[in-house]
Amino acid sequence: MAQEEDLLDNWLHEEWIVCPSCQRSLFRIDTSPMDHERYLYCDRCPIRVGISVYETEYQQLSHLFFAAQENEEHDHEAFSRAIEAHLQPCTCGGTFRYDAPRRCFTCFAPVITDDPNGVDLYPDEDVFEQELDAKRQERLERWQAQFCPNPENKWKPLSK
């Protein structure tokens, strides 16, 4: 009984894992299907960029892409690749991808490499907390500024 409740509670598979390289604890969680935003991860460093389905560029791309497809079966895999192709590179020169390995924030080693699409990695659970004490809030903001920068010009100009 207790186990069943745990399963229901933990439907996003929240789990503490350990970096195989530096042994730091990390918090993994599935991307919620209710969320309008998804992260794409750099293929060279732990930086991620959030893309919302409400963004103009996302909607334009979606419109262009699916209008160009003739059959009913939409190719979502190819659409993901089209989104990736329209993002500016990471500040480190890497490419943002849905399925890039999720990396440790301390030593940058790949931590989740097996089917990482739909999984997010955090240093801890602070990002999900409603209220944090000043110290944890500051630490969270520093983490966000470094690894989740949300740049203004993340999209490449759309070619008409």
Closer by beta carbon to Zn ion, 111 or else 140: 111
In whole angstroms, how close is the CB of 139 to Zn ion at the nearest point?
Answer: 17
Residues whose CB is less than 8 angstroms from the CB of residue 147 and which lie 6 or more positions away in sequence, other chains included: 46, 47, 48, 105
CB of 100 to Zn ion, least distance (A): 9
Where does this chain bind Zn ion (CB under 5 A)? Answer: 19, 21-22, 42, 44-45, 47, 90, 92, 94, 104, 106-107, 109
Q: Kindly compute the dihedral angle of the four CA atoms of residues 116, 91, 95, 14, in this order, to the nearest 10 degrees.
A: 10
Residue 100 exposed, middle or buried by CB count within 10 Å (0-12, 13-18, 19+):
buried
12 vs 109 by CB, closer to Zn ion: 109
CA contacts within 13 A on the Cβ side of 81: 4
- Residue number with CB closer to Zn ion (19 or 40): 19
Min CB(125)–Zn ion separation in Å: 18
Minimum distance between the CB of residue 84 and Zn ion, rounded to whole angstroms?
13
Which is nearest to 126 in space by CA: 114, 135, 117?
Answer: 135
Closer to Zn ion by Cβ: residue 92 or 145 = 92
